[in-house]
Chain A
Amino acid sequence: MPLQSLDILRRSASPTASPQVRGPEEVAKLIDVTTCIGCKACQVACSEWNDLREEVGTNHGIYDNPIDLSAQAWTVMRFTEVEEHGKLEWLIRKDGCMHCSDPGCLKACPSPGAIIQYKNGIVDFHQENCIGCGYCISGCPFNIPRISTQDNKAYKCSLCSDRVGVGQEPACVKTCPTGAIQFGSKEAMKEYAAERIVDLKSRGFENAGLYDPEGVGGTHVMYVLHHADKPELYAKLPNNPAISVAVSLWKGILKPLAGIGMAAAVLAGFFHYVTVGPSRADDDDDHDDAPKKGRSARQEEAAK
């Protein structure tokens, strides 16, 4: 029985295999920076749809506002003035979650089911399961997730998984006045990007190209850039983003080692329980009990 409207590919800290039979198409959002007018409609539509309201800030001598991403601002426009080939350009980039194919946040997350990757490519945070440790932030090569000061949980763009789940496009995509944000299958987005790049090259942008970085296995939010050779021009978009060494180590080597330590801990815990009894027997948390029953650490390890 599928509980979810989108099929799951991976879950943080949950080695249980996900159902494999259905194969929904990968989706992607393409942000064509070259037709973006920086109007912030996407920012506003995002906040409106997701019921978010950042504090009213102040002006900092730039158009950027809110000045950074936050638990209440899942996407922000970043404005940069550059002079390339003697010509002034105002580069405007919509910043937010890239929905990596190989998501550093998910890999780093220690809390089961707090980060979910759907088969269509969306990486979604489930705040119910978030423990507020902030590992997702260190795991993200794009510096996207933010911890809320209200509830100490991590938030970021969901690619409107609720809208995509019922067959709609994300709120930012729908609202974009100039069509600088497009949505569709990843394949269709790459094809559209290719057309845009031909047009840009005809206008003298020789290095126009697609930003779909391999270091994170490609992304489900891609950019068309006039200067694909210099992504750092666009408010420091990373040139070769990759998951940090610490996170790779955690997943690759340290976690199995930690598992051995855990086995000892489990054993100790078992004897402690048998001899002393539960320390917090009325620690009720009914809503997430059911799924937890009947699985031992060893089974978990075996399943891995």
Chain B
Amino acid sequence: MQVSRRQFFKISAAGLSASSMAALGFSASPALAEVRQYKLLRAKETRNTCTYCSVGCGLLMYSLGDGAKNAKANIIHIEGDPDHPVSRGSLCPKGAGLLDFVHSESRLKYPEVREAGSKEWKRISWEEAITRVARHMKTDRDANVVAKNAQGVPVNRWLSTAMLTASASSNETGILSQKFIRSLGIVATDAQARVCHGPTVSALASTFGRGAMTNNWVDIKNADFILVMGGNPAEAHPVGFKWAIEAKKKGARLIVVDPRFNRTASVADDFLPIRAGSDIAFLGGIINWLISNGKIQWDYVKAYTNAAFIVSEGYSFDEGLFAGYDEAKGQYDRGSWSYELDEAGEAKVDPTLEHPRCVWNLLKQHYSRYTPEMVVTLTGSPKDGFLKVCEHLGATAVPDKVATILYALGWTQHTTGSQNIRTMAMIQLLLGNIGMPGGGVNALRGHSNIQGLSDLGLLSTSLPGYLTLPSESAHPTFADYIAKNTPKAQRPGQMNYWGNTPKFFVSLLKWFWGDKATRENDWGYDWLPKWDRMYDVLAIMDLMHRGKLNGFIVQGFNPLASLPDYNKNVAAYAKLKYLVIIDPIATETSTFWQNHGEFNDVDSASIQTEVFRLPCTCFAEEDGSIVNSARWLQWHWKGGEPPGEARSDQAVLGELFFALRKLYQEEGGTLPEPILNLSWPYANPREPTPEELAKEMNGRALTDVVDPKDPTKVLARKGEQLPGFALLRDDGSTLCAAWIFSGCWTQAGNQMGRRDNTDVGLGATPGWAWSWPANRRILYNRASCDPAGKPWDPNRKLIAWTGEKWAGGDIPDFQVDAGPQTGMNPFIMNPEGVGRLFSTDKLVDGPFPEHYEPMESPLGTNPLHPKVVSSPAVRIFAADKERLGTREKFPYVGTTYRLTEHFQFWTKSVRLSAIAQPQQFVEISEQLAAEKGIVNGEWVKVSSRRGFIKAKAMVTKRVKVLTVNNQTVHQIGIPLHWGWVGVAQKGHLANSLAPAVGDCNTQTPEYKAFLVNIEKA
């Protein structure tokens, strides 16, 4: 019975006493209690994948309403998916705060324009936005597209507009972008992969044949020893790091080598400080130690590496230079970095390893200079710690012990980025740790789909599936392209999988040009643009700086914040005629013309650039697939409606292409053929669907595909989705947009959406999602067995030779019926079949890694060879060279990095992330602070030759003073997440400090080692 107080007082005078007693702590009531009601009971649940890093954690998104048509699906909560084999319900601080990204105050809701000279945004309609952008593009393209080069080779190159694509967008957006970009003739294009793991691809591909993380997240738990160097997985990949902790719980040892004691070090068995930019010295020292101490897995090295291969006579290394250096060009002629060939054109080998020019002896000689003393001199790391790392690694030079390496941008973002990684790849070959569960070289990639965007070739000179975009000099014709890109086996009996290039390439051209691609017109080869040189982001910024760029289209990228030398760049943006931003959130790039005081001190009125800002959906509001670091293609589903008028990337590209093509159809224009002939077979041409695009990536039969051995046997009927890339043909009978993804959407349906998380052993879950290539989970897994086909370690059995075929828990990364007697070797993408200790001519800066100083060196010399201080193969533009600083004016080493609470420059727009880490700071040692009179928590100014930032000082024991080459080296840690947009405290773009110079092979910028000064602000 419910009784009101008034009634109650009237009933009983005792009531007063009760309430008085209660107020004083003597309850007159039973004080019932109930927990907060569970808020998700009937909310709609949708599966998705986290949009931040490439661990690819599973999400459960809950939206308001139960799916009824009348309820607007608004996402109210996001938590981890417990079924996901990697994340198992976990999310890092960024993932746990995704709700505030979806509903960020910085989300864009309507198309807007900033007119030339204006100080503000103006809301416009989608129709106006698309019409105006298409007109800008056509005007610029008509005026500037180059049809033929001086030699008369068709090049179809449009250089005056550049486009960046987004490594957090889906594969389906990525592949559509590829089609859009190339049909227009754009070669000045890049994705975040360029500023991230570009060197991983070049280093691992030049060693093992493929440029991807060799193993996978869960497999890390199978390691006996884990080296973390050039990375900080506890902060950058916290959920993937779970599996390092699991290994540790089973007894594995973990050592961190890093310029500062970071959060990974906080749970490591040991930590070693190292000078930023000296990794090759450290790793080269390990190679020398392994050789000197006999810690080599000989059976593996002899069978599966090129140790026995004989190198050409012309090869040499002397005083810091390899053979073939052309000082005027600043480049090597790599002709002599090759194998000596026999009459049949195959590489000569000496299985006894006695030949003085066999790779083994050259290797031994090259690294003999890297003594432990030299390591200490160059790195500043303690000798005992260095030897401890050597011993732990050396202990795995036996068949039943395995070590792994976890690294990321700490290795890639150097002028020697590719070679840093290659050195470790060589160590793992010497130890027999490649192909093994718990082993490998584990590149922990950055953005959620940075692997996918690399796979889809969204880089200046690439095409999907690691095919190259034609070069005007090397591949003027289709025949040249095929001849140059189809290698011949260099040893007898090798699989040499790139021998299939014509099948991949013709199927790709059929995707581009459809029925218009015929044998007669070389499958439309001439409509593809051809490059004259690489237009990576540094080259694009140089073009912009020199006023050579009129248009810039930026899809889900914040290049003003991401690229080095902000001060030079912000001035360059003002030279653009038009800038188009396609993004879910506001960025610094889109507001480069706004004055934000000392953070961005520009004169808006004098900036004549027209800026269009087109709002797009985020991960939570779309279907599609993204590829995690372990090459898993995971499908995700839409859980809510986008804000305002935001549209999907596919719709934005679809509308733009549709409008452009209409203009060319109606008005004509320069070189319309590639645009008019482009295959655009989508049901709604203004908005291709993720499903349509995913199916194209898988590929389908255009006519019946028959068994070449038995033409009566039909393997795939006309119109059917292909089961995998083995069915691709070079006769125009198959279409495939990304050959390595073939198998992702077969006749059996969408393989990327599979959710069987059964562990078939060693943590492998082949029924979860789909992994390229062919659902193989550990690359080169044939090397987990000895030459006779027996697992090296019976407790780490992946596959084995049954007598008839290769079989086991993983899909063999090998020809399934090629038995041990065939002599076929495990590295099937390499024409020689083995892993490369000597990388021949695959990298531009040497077949063996060598220590070179960063472009801005605190030493000013190179103790290994004082005449050659920094890498001789560095490319640096004149304007950037002038902006390099010296150690006299900038005596300290600056190094930039991420924090676990933030993801690049997005999460400052995410309230939950901003709360967890609100303000810009730099980390310095107690000694440097004392020298400079800096007190913890006060403001400091850090400057380089190129600019400055102001930040809070964090004075910490975790940054150590090092002695390097008999001199004191102080290092300053610079987290990079701040800017002027968002809900965190405003800050300076950290890339005001970094120099615009990149890795010799890939031009990934040198963010990790440059010179700065520091003072009290």
Contacts and interface: CB of A to CB of B under 8 A. Distances in A.
Interface stretch (A138-146, A160-168, A212-220): A160-168
Interface stretch (B34-42, B503-511, B703-711, B1004-1012): B34-42
Interface in A8-32: 8, 11-16
Contacts of A202: 251
Interface string A266-304: 100110011000100111111011111111110111000
A170 to B, nearest CB: 11
Contacts of A203: 269
B89 A174 contact: yes
Contact of A41 (B33, B91, B938): B91
Interface string A177-192: 1111000000000000
Nearest to A35: B245
Interface in B953-973: 953-958
A273 B234 CA distance: 67
Contacts of A295: 18, 28-29
A265 to B, nearest CB: 7
A116 B5 CA distance: 25
Given A37-B900, A289-B2, A296 B266 contact: no
Contact of A39 (B31, B33, B92, B936): B92
A55 B952 CA distance: 19
A300 B26 contact: yes
A285 B4 CA distance: 8
A111 B331 CA distance: 80
A56 B985 contact: yes
B261 A90 contact: yes
A59 B91 contact: no
Which of A36, A39, A65, A164 has the most chain B CB atoms inside 10 A of its CB?
A39
A161 B17 contact: no
B265 interface: yes
A101 interface: no
Interface in A123-138: 124, 126, 129, 131
Contacts of B682: none
B267 interface: yes
Nearest to A15: B27
B29 A292 contact: yes
A203 to B, nearest CB: 6
Interface in B242-293: 242, 245-246, 248-249, 251, 261, 263-267, 269, 271
Contact of B952 (A61, A178, A290, A294): A61
A174 B33 contact: no
A290 B2 CA distance: 5
Contact of A14 (B30, B916, B919): B30
Contacts of B261: 88, 90
A237 interface: no
B841 to A, nearest CB: 42
B22 interface: yes
Interface residues of A, number: 104
A189 B1 CA distance: 44
Interface stretch (B397-405, B661-669, B863-871, B906-914): B906-914
Given A44-B913, A124-B33, A88 B958 contact: yes
A48 B77 contact: yes
B6 A47 contact: no
Contacts of B920: 59
Nearest to B20: A269
Interface string A98-125: 0000000000001111001000000010
Interface in A223-275: 255, 258-259, 262, 265-266, 269-270, 273-274
Nearest to B2: A290
B13 A290 contact: no
Contacts of A65: 915-918
Interface stretch (B93-101, B413-421, B621-629): B93-101
Contacts of A166: 38
A111 B655 CA distance: 64
B267 A178 contact: yes
Contacts of A288: 29
Contacts of A43: 93, 916
Contacts of B39: 162
Interface in B58-100: 77-80, 82, 89-97, 99-100
B813 interface: no
Contacts of A54: 915
Contacts of B23: 131
B10 to A, nearest CB: 9
Contact of B24 (A59, A262, A284, A301): A262
B238 interface: yes
A177 B92 CA distance: 6
B93 A284 contact: no
A49 B238 CA distance: 20
A44 B916 CA distance: 7
B32 interface: yes
Nearest to B39: A162
A193 B915 CA distance: 32
Contact of B33 (A4, A53, A286): A4
Given A5-B34, A61-B936, A296 B28 contact: yes
Given A8-B33, A284-B4, A174 B79 contact: yes
A14 B17 contact: no
A83 interface: yes
Nearest to B31: A113
B794 interface: no
B96 A45 contact: yes
A282 B79 CA distance: 46
Contact of B265 (A4, A14, A90, A258): A90
A206 interface: no
Given A56-B985, A66-B915, A301-B26, A129 B265 contact: no
Contact of A262 (B21, B234, B246, B915): B21
B97 A48 contact: yes
A296 B89 CA distance: 51
Contacts of A278: 9, 16
A59 B27 contact: no
Contact of B30 (A92, A161, A175, A291): A291
Contacts of B2: 286, 289-290
Interface string B597-630: 0000000000000000000000000000000000
Which of A73, A88, A126 has the most chain B CB atoms inside 10 A of its CB?
A88
A82 to B, nearest CB: 9
A291 B29 contact: yes
A5 B92 CA distance: 30
B317 interface: no
Contacts of A68: none
Interface string A72-103: 01000000010100001111100000000000
Interface in A192-221: 196, 199, 202-203
A53 B31 contact: no
Given A4-B35, A262-B21, A270-B17, A61 B4 contact: no
Given A4-B35, A278-B9, A269 B96 contact: no
Given A39-B901, A177-B242, 6 more contacts: A14-B29, A60-B952, A110-B25, A162-B35, A179-B242, A270-B17
Interface of B: 1-6, 8-9, 11-39, 77-80, 82, 89-97, 99-100, 234-235, 238-239, 241-242, 245-246, 248-249, 251, 261, 263-267, 269, 271, 900-901, 911-921, 936-938, 952-958, 983-985
9 contacts: A3-B32, A11-B31, A13-B26, A41-B92, A59-B917, A166-B38, A179-B242, A286-B4, A292-B28
The 7 A-B residue pairs whose C-beta atoms are closest, nearest first, are A113-B31, A61-B937, A112-B27, A110-B25, A177-B238, A61-B936, A59-B919
Interface of A: 3-6, 8, 11-16, 34-41, 43-45, 47-49, 53-63, 65-66, 73, 81, 83, 88-92, 110-113, 116, 124, 126, 129, 131, 158, 161-166, 171, 174-180, 196, 199, 202-203, 255, 258-259, 262, 265-266, 269-270, 273-274, 278, 281-286, 288-297, 299-301
